[in-house]
Structure 1
Amino acid sequence: MTASAAPPATTGELTGVAGWAVGLMESLGGPGAALVVGLDNLFPPLPSELVLPLAGFAAGRGMFSLTAALFWTTLGSVAGAVVVYVLGALLGHDRTRRLAGRIPLVGTADYDRTAAWFARHGGKAVFFGRMIPVFRSLVSVPAGVERMPFGRFLLFTTAGSLIWNTGFVVAGYLLGENWALVERYATAFQYVVVAAVAAAAGLFVARRIKAR
């Protein structure tokens, strides 16, 4: 008599966001993984560092194949990024420039320099931004505001998302029940990024106050 295969994970085994995400993947399969990952672009508190290893874990439990996990999570990442890109495009360059001019210690000249930098390095910013916590959700905004050619935006977003997703999904797939180790180390990296951004912002403010 042969041993039966391990049953798929159930939401009872996991709680909170993890339980909700796995439950959605159980109900909808690959499209559920795409939906969860896509929401990461719209709601940064739902981190891809948690969701992607879970998708790999779900694939390891037989909910869908590893290839399907990579396809659907990348599709979700791209779809979410496109929504943010469209929102940025609706906001537009001129309106964003006016808003920047109203921010204390920031002027339209700062915005103009940033826009000029993005015009030169936008492709790299989108590609590498898809692999940096926090910036993953934000980099699509300037791409839309500055009306980066949509085909170019789609190419760099897909490439960056595929690389990022593959690392986390495969790690979750290989680690199985220990998938949370991936999220733990990724969260530590995210803290480093947030601390660096906060330090840079503090330095910017200090210099502006000193200049005035």
Structure 2
Amino acid sequence: MPDFLDPMTLLGYFGAWALVGLLVVIFVESGVLFPILPGDSLLFVAGMLAAGTAALAEDGGEVINFQLWQLLVFIPIAAVLGGQAGYWIGRNLGTAMFKPDARFLKQKYLEEAHLFFEQRGPFAIVIARFVPIVRTLAPLTAGAARMSYGVFTLFNVIGALVWGIGLTLLGYWLGRFEVVQQLLEPIVIAIVVVSVLPMFIEWYKRRRAAKRAGIPAPPIETGEQA
């Protein structure tokens, strides 16, 4: 996978500033217009580093090791702030951000966001935390769609806590098993695959619906964004 999608490599780039770099990545991916970052796998690896079962050092450089309390406190904060920033970006710029031929902020995303929120309610903000790309676009579309700020904030906080603390603790706990330590790279790849699976399922549903309706199948959206 590309270096910027490999959490071990990405954290290694930050060196002694790994915690700050981690929080910046979480903030940006949580709603600030750059959706292609390794959020889920990054939290898992950070948890392993906090457990002391993984370490990063390049050419004899400083070993990166997080404190669990730092991760459990600061990751949710960074995730909440990123989501809030994304909401206000979407709310202030509105639908002007979304264009039919845009690479990331397509007009149909806004239309689908309305439908998505109508079907699942504001809890969609929590669900979106666990889906790459959607995790970034959900606050933007919620703001552009004028979702109530109070409602968005509540579910943004819930999603940030469940996602940020849950995946970090999962890495912290599983990282204590030797088999997990030995299979870290395949596990990271598996996390990425599982994370994007909902997008492929949605594309497949659209493809089947289009086939039944006798119209051309919609193109899968993940390829051009990867």
- Shared fold per TM-score greater than 0.5: yes
Matches within 5 A, 1:79-94: 79-93=81-95
Q: Partner amino acid for 2:10?
A: W
Structure 2: stretches of 5+ with no match in the other structure? 53-63, 101-106, 217-226
Identity of matched residues, %: 23
Aligned to 2:148: 149
Which amino acid letter does the alignment assign opposite residue 56 of structure 1?
Answer: G
Deviation (angstroms), 1:143: 0.9
Residue 147 (structure 2) pairs with residue 158 (structure 1): no
**Cα deviation, residue 133, structure 1:** 3.4
Task: Report what 2:66 is aligned to.
Answer: 64
Q: How many residues align?
A: 188
Instruction: Find the counterpart in structure 1 of residue 195 from structure 2.
Output: 190
| In structure 1, distance between residues paired with 2:187 and 2:168 | 10
**Which residue type is aligned with residue 19 of structure 1?**
T
- 1:48 Cα deviation (Å)? 0.9
Kindly indicate which of the two structures has a greater share of residues assigned to helix. Answer: 1
1:33 pairs with 22, 38, 43, which one? Answer: 22
Partner of 2:215: 209
Amino acid at match of 1:60: A
State the match for 2:59 in structure 1: none
Q: Is the 8 A contact 1:130 1:161 kept in 2?
A: yes
* Displacement of 1:196: 1.0
CA distance in 2, matches of 1:182, 1:167: 17
- Cα distance in 2 for residues equivalent to 1:52 and 1:30: 11
The runs of 5 or more residues in structure 1 that have no matched partner are 1-14, 101-106
Q: Judging changes above 3 Å, is the alpha-carbon distance between structure 1 residues 114 and 161 closer, same or farther for their aligned structure 2 residues?
A: closer
Q: Larger C-alpha radius of gyration, 1 or 2?
A: 1
- Given candidates 40, 44, 58, the residue that maps to 1:49 is 40
Query: Which residue does 2:55 correspond to in 1?
Result: none
Root-mean-square deviation (CA), in Å? 3.6
